[in-house]
Structures are given as structure tokens and as C-alpha cells.
Amino acid sequence: MMTTNKPITFSIKNLDLFYGEKQALNQIELPIYEKEVTALIGPSGCGKSTFLRVLNRMNDLIDSCVIKGDVLYHQDDIYRKDTDIIELRTKVGMVFQKPNPFPMSIYDNITYGPKCQGIKNKQVLNEIVETSLKQAAIWDEVKDRLKESALSLSGGQQQRLCIARTIAMKPEVILMDEPTSALDPVATAKIEDLIVELKKEYTIVIVTHNMQQAARISDKTAFFLMGEVVEFGDTNHMFSTPKHKKTEEYITGRFG
């Protein structure tokens, strides 16, 4: 049962993905709803990260990767030949497992992308820095040290900085690949609170190994197993009354 009337941002249909001979995704059908958090869960190697990378064509960087089926972003097939990939990756930003700030100042980390887009006005850049850092809930911690190296921040702060860097590009969707797995519980809690706050403005798709995290922060959950989506639906329903035996076994920790 689904309880959303939200518009659909991504609609994935009949998606097959191969790395050479090996099929990593098999007939995936999924909607991603606007301004919701969609969690992708499942055991190691089931295809969660592969699926996440499909959404902004990060798999293009892998030579052996072949994709069949439809990946519609606002009705537009992003795998069309004439898709502007830079624009796609601006609209569909990504945050990785390990915080990966550039080896430059906090300020320059945020302005790097906007400057590449041609924004030169200092005042505009200052505003982008302040708004992005505020939205990523790290402004108060860094506002007096913007010229310091981003590498001087703690792991949790670096990850929030990376989220701010993504926000600075004014995306619509933020993809997150296990964004808290390298962080301690306190830093993790801050990122989780932040994700819940961010979904007011952004559509978020997150890969997580942490069942409690999926249950706490997501609206929808997709359970992947061996390249297939076994179950998809409202997180509350899936965690209270899973439809499939495999889902139940996974979320209760019986395998994984």
C-alpha cells in the first residue's frame, strides 16, 4: 500500500544493467517521488550503488557497463544520446560514502562548482556559500574559518561540507551512497537530521546498510536482492508488515 500523492521525479522501467557478461540489475521498476527520501537497502553486492549511479549516469564512467530499459527523469529518458550529462549531474547531485572535500579552503569548496558555471560576482558567491552551509547545518561551525582548509574539519563536518557543495549547485535530487558509514554515531545523527530537513526542498535517494537509519529517515524503501527489487513501498509498512519473506528476514537481521 502506498500513501503518496507526490509527483514522480524518476520513473524507472524494465531496467537491465550489465557489467560485461554479468547482469547486475534485472528488470527494475521503481518510481522515485518528489521531495521524499527513498532508501535503497539490501545485502552487499545486490546492486544498490549500481542503481543509484544509474540515476545520474555515473555508470558511464565504467566501460563494460551496458544499460537497457527506461530511466525517465521528468518524463525525459536520460539515456538519450543528446542528454547533457553535465546538466544532468548538476540537477542530480551526489554525495559519496567517504567525505571527499577538495584540498582547498572551505569557501573554495563551495564556490568551485558555481564558478565553473560562470558565476564570478563576489557577492553572489558569498551568498551561495552562506546559504549552502546554512542548509547543510554547518554554517555556525565554520563561519569564522571559511578560509581554512576543508581537510582541517572532522569527518562529520567534511560530509556536511560535501552536502553543502552539492547544494551549491542548486540540484533537484541528491543521491547519497552510504553517507554516514564512515562516521561516528553523533555525526551520523546530525546527517540524519539534516536529510530529514533537506527533503523539504530536495528529492533524496540514499543507499544504506543501516536498517534503523532507513526506518528513521526514509518515506519509501526499496529492498534489493541479487539485482532485483523484491519489495518497494512505504517505509512504515515495509518495516512493520513486510510482504515478502526475504524482506522480513533481511530487516530482522537474519541475513545480510
Ligand X SMILES: Nc1ncnc2c1ncn2[C@@H]1O[C@H](COP(=O)(O)OP(=O)(O)OP(=O)(O)O)[C@@H](O)[C@H]1O
| Interface mask toward ligand X for 144-163; x: CB under 6 A | --------------------
Shortest separation between residue 58's beta carbon and ligand X, angstroms: 11
The answer to the question of residue 206 lying near ligand X (CB under 6 A) is no
Shortest separation between residue 187's beta carbon and ligand X, angstroms: 20
Q: Which is nearer to ligand X, 1 or 61 (CB)?
A: 61
The answer to the question of residue 19 lying near ligand X (CB under 6 A) is yes
Q: Which is nearer to ligand X, 49 or 166 (CB)?
A: 49
Integer Cα distance of 85 and 62 in angstroms? 15
State phi, psi for 211 to the nearest 5 degrees.
-60, -40
Amino acid at 109: N
Shortest separation between residue 145's beta carbon and ligand X, angstroms: 34
Q: Which is nearer to ligand X, 41 or 110 (CB)?
A: 41
Maximum alpha-carbon separation in the chain: 57
Residue the block writes with cell 582548509: 149
Integer Cα distance of 232 and 241 in angstroms? 12
Number of residues that bind ligand X (CB under 6 A): 12
Integer Cα distance of 163 and 109 in angstroms? 11
Q: Which is nearer to ligand X, 2 or 62 (CB)?
A: 62
Q: Which helix (H) or strand (E) holds 196?
A: helix 185-198
Cβ atoms within 10 Å, residue 237? 16
Shortest separation between residue 84's beta carbon and ligand X, angstroms: 24
In 3-state terms, what secondary structure has residue 183?
coil
Among positions 32-71, residues that touch ligand X (CB under 6 A) are 42, 44-50, 62, 64
Interacting residues with ligand X (CB under 6 A): 19, 24, 42, 44-50, 62, 64
